[in-house]
């Protein structure tokens, strides 16, 4: 695999039983690249370790006054120099390719898993951890895959060098053969502690990243309640903990690096001291001593990958564990797989709660618990965060959990209460898979996005709102503007069943009424489920269902439920039954818009307007 061939057509099925197994799987998946890096590494390191022999031959030729021997030594050094340059260049190319391809494969696997799990991902793994895995952890995993081939080439080169010295000068070669294992394994006792310190640093960095991600996501709310300083203090504290952990980890790695310099120095002094004695005794030639001395002096170069691979493994192991944990998550299913991918149609029914959304009808669902509403909306989409053995939601009698995932998501689209707007232009935002029956203009009109388009036109260089840039998560827009653009995007998709969770919670009452009329008209004849407690939306629904304690408690028309169902009236009007009996129970002829004029609703609308103004 070359960089130009990325992305992978199929990144494969990873071994996620442990972090180490995942790293091994990545290495096996690019065996060709590993072998190329190994081959060029042997050329490079072998050429480096050939230089001492050339130098030794040259010195001995000078001592013996041999011109032919000096020319031969010069030729050997020249060939070694060319091999060093060529091997280093191609080794770097192969190693970086291994790094990038391993990181790209991991990112593809994470992206596929994210798309597979959908909203269930962030309920089982913190958003900050997902960000850490897909950014910093991916790089460290690629680093180890890249470093391993160079380490293996260096290790083989050292073995060959030691064997060569044993044949070239047995007495000094034996000394080097005894000392090299000490050099290679001398820092081994320090690695467990270095790994633990690296793990602590990674853990603290992940928590700091998660805190930063959550703070940025809730910045608008924090500004509204004056909580910026509190969260800034928390992040400073977490950042300082990361700094202190990084310093402790760096000290340990500095000690390991120092030993990598000290131990070869000790070996070099030992070899020189012993070799001088052999030369004085006439047992070896000066050139042989120079060759062995040069070999030991250069030994620190191929030993560097030993330190690097140890550091790469220490940092990549926790990263690989986190990646394996995310990749091991499975989307819970409650039905058996079906071979047919045909798009089902008909009523949407949840056996667990008893909720029925008839085909072609606008159904509004009122829940006393907003969190329960979100969980029920996820269930209706066929991808709950935790199925827990519950029966599958049925669409036209077919279990959504048993359908192919793509078919289920094409049939039912769920827009949660906090939809995400990706950065880019408005045209790119609305470029989503769709039936083609609803145009962008129609969807924007139905979602009452006229003022949003005016604002984007002013921000656009050429006055075209469709080309205007939208910042990440739509942070340049107000909450109500983001909600309406997300609603327009969902309407363009035009699914068989559209599930909306509080689609107008950040919109003022006048705009909300127009949005309700637009959605009702555009989705006529299509199944639509709206989770809301807004009287304006409820009054325009064909059917209203009250869900309490996870089960359907009542169903009917909005005005009918207001009259006969105290629990429904308490959730929708936010008043107890006693106060409602006094003045606020609507007569059959009284419009439900009057309910939205109560002081509590005026305060709510004022708060929404204040947020949009901010």
Do residues 23 and 34 touch, judged by C-beta distance below 8 A?
no
Please choose, from the candidates 324, 345, 179, 162, the residue with its C-alpha nearest in 3D space to the C-alpha of residue 263: 179
- At 338-390, the pLDDT tens digits run 444 456 678 999 998 999 999 999 999 999 888 888 888 888 887 654 555 67
- In the predicted model, is pLDDT for residue 88 greater than 80? yes
Do residues 327 and 95 touch, judged by C-beta distance below 8 A?
no
Parallel, antiparallel, or unpaired: how do β-strands 362-367 and 527-531 relate?
A: parallel
Burial of 420 (0-12, 13-18, 19+ CB in 10 A): exposed
pLDDT-based confidence at residue 606 (cuts at 50, 70, 90) = very low
The kind and range of the H/E element at 257 are: helix 228-280
* Percent of the residues in the chain that have a pLDDT greater than 90, as a whole number: 20
Residue with tokens 């959990």: 401
Which residue stretches of 390-478 are H helix? 405-411, 426-429, 440-446, 450-459
Do residues 316 and 70 touch, judged by C-beta distance below 8 A?
no
- In the predicted model, is pLDDT for residue 235 greater than 70? yes
Max CA pair span of the chain: 121
DSSP 491-560: HHH--SEEEEESTTTTS-HHHHHHHHHHHHHHTTTSEEEEE---HHHHHH-SEEEEEETTEEEEEE-HHH
Q: At what angle do helices 31-64 and 300-327 cross, to 10 degrees?
A: 170
User: 138 to each of 7, 183, 253, 262, 500, how far by Cα in Å?
Assistant: 15, 31, 21, 33, 35
Q: Tell me what percent of the chain is helix, strand and coil, each rounded to the nearest 5.
A: 70, 5, 25
pLDDT-based confidence at residue 593 (cuts at 50, 70, 90) = very low
- At 543-579, the pLDDT tens digits run 999 999 889 999 999 999 999 999 999 988 876 555 5
DSSP 111-160: HHHHHHHTTHHHHHS-HHHHHHIIIIIHHHHHHHHHHHHHHHHHHHHHHH
- In the predicted model, is pLDDT for residue 337 greater than 60? no
For 246, the token pair is 């990084």
Please choose, from the candidates 550, 553, 548, the residue with its C-alpha nearest in 3D space to the C-alpha of residue 564: 553
> Residue 470: beta bridge partners?
424
- In the predicted model, is pLDDT for residue 81 greater than 50? yes
Average pLDDT taken over every residue of the chain: 80
pLDDT at 253: 80
Q: How far apart are the first and last CA of the chain?
A: 51
> What average pLDDT does this structure show over 247-269?
83
DSSP 359: T
Residues 6+ apart with CB under 8 A from 109: 11, 12, 14, 323, 327
Parallel, antiparallel, or unpaired: how do β-strands 398-399 and 394-395 relate?
A: antiparallel
- In the predicted model, is pLDDT for residue 168 greater than 70? yes
pLDDT-based confidence at residue 334 (cuts at 50, 70, 90) = very low
Sheet strands side by side (includes 394-395)? 355-357, 348-350, 394-395, 398-399
d(CA 223, CA 244): 30
Please choose, from the candidates 614, 578, 570, the residue with its C-alpha nearest in 3D space to the C-alpha of residue 595: 570
Q: What is the sign of the dihedral through the CA atoms of 469, 473, 476 and 478? A: positive
């Amino acid at each position: 695999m070359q960089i130009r061939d990325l992305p992978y057509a199929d990144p494969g099925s990873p071994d996620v039983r442990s972090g180490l197994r995942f790293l091994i799987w990545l290495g096996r998946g690019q065996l060709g690249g590993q072998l190329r890096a190994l081959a060029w590494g042997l050329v490079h390191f072998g050429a480096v370790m050939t230089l001492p022999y050339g130098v030794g031959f040259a010195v001995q030729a000078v001592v013996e006054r041999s011109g032919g021997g000096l020319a031969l030594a010069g030729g050997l050094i020249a060939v070694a120099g060319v091999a060093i340059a060529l091997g280093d260049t191609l080794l770097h190319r192969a190693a970086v390719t291994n790094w990038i391809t391993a990181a790209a494969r991991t990112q593809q696997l994470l992206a596929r898993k994210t798309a597979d799990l959908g909203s269930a991902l962030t309920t089982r793994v913190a958003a900050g951890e997902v960000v850490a895995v897909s950014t910093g952890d991916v790089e460290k995993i690629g680093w180890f895959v890249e470093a391993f081939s160079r380490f293996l080439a260096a290790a083989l080169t050292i073995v060959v060098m030691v064997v060569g010295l044993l044949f070239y000068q047995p007495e000094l070669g034996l000394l080097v053969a005894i000392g090299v294992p000490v050099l290679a394994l001398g820092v081994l006792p320090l690695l467990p502690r270095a790994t633990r310190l690296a793990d602590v640093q990674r853990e603290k960095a992940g928590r700091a990243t998660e805190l930063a991600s959550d703070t940025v996501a809730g910045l608008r709310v924090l500004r509204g309640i004056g909580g910026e300083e509190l969260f800034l203090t928390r992040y400073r504290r977490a950042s300082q903990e990361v700094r202190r952990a990084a310093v402790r980890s760096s000290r340990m790695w500095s000690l390991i690096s120092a030993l990598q310099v000290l131990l070869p120095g000790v070996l070099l002094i030992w070899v020189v001291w012993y070799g001088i004695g052999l030369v004085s005794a006439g047992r070896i030639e000066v050139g042989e001593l120079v060759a062995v001395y040069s070999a030991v002096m250069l030994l620190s170069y191929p030993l560097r990958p030993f330190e690097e691979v140890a550091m790469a493994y220490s940092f990549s192991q926790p990263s690989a564990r986190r990646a394996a944990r995310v990749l091991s998550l499975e989307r819970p299913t409650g039905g058996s797989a079906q071979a047919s991918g045909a798009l089902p149609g008909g009523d949407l029914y949840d056996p667990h709660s008893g909720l029925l959304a008839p085909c072609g009808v606008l159904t509004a669902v009122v829940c006393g618990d907003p969190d329960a509403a979100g969980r029920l909306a996820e269930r209706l989409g066929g991808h709950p965060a935790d199925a827990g053995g519950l029966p599958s939601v049925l669409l036209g009698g077919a279990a959504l959990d048993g359908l192919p995932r793509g078919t289920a998501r094409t049939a039912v689209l769920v827009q949660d209460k906090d939809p995400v707007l990706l950065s880019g232009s408005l045209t790119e935002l609305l470029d989503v898979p769709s039936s083609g029956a609803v145009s962008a203009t129609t969807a924007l009109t139905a979602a009452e996005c006229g003022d949003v388009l005016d604002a984007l036109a002013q921000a656009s260089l050429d006055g075209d709102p469709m080309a205007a840039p939208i910042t990440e998560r739509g942070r340049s827009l107000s909450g109500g503007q983001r909600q309406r653009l997300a609603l327009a995007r969902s309407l363009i998709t035009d699914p068989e069943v559209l599930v909306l969770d509080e689609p107008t919670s950040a919109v003022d009452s006048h705009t909300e009424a127009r949005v309700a009329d637009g959605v009702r008209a555009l989705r006529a004849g299509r199944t639509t489920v709206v989770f809301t407690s807004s009287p304006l939306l409820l009054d325009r629904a064909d059917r209203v269902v009250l869900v309490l304690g996870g089960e359907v408690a009542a169903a009917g028309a909005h005005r009918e439920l207001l009259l006969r169902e105290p629990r429904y009236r308490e959730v929708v009007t936010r008043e107890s039954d006693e106060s409602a009996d006094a003045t606020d129970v609507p007569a059959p002829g009284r419009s439900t818009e009057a309910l939205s004029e109560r002081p509590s609703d005026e305060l709510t609308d004022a708060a929404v307007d204040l947020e949009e103004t901010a």
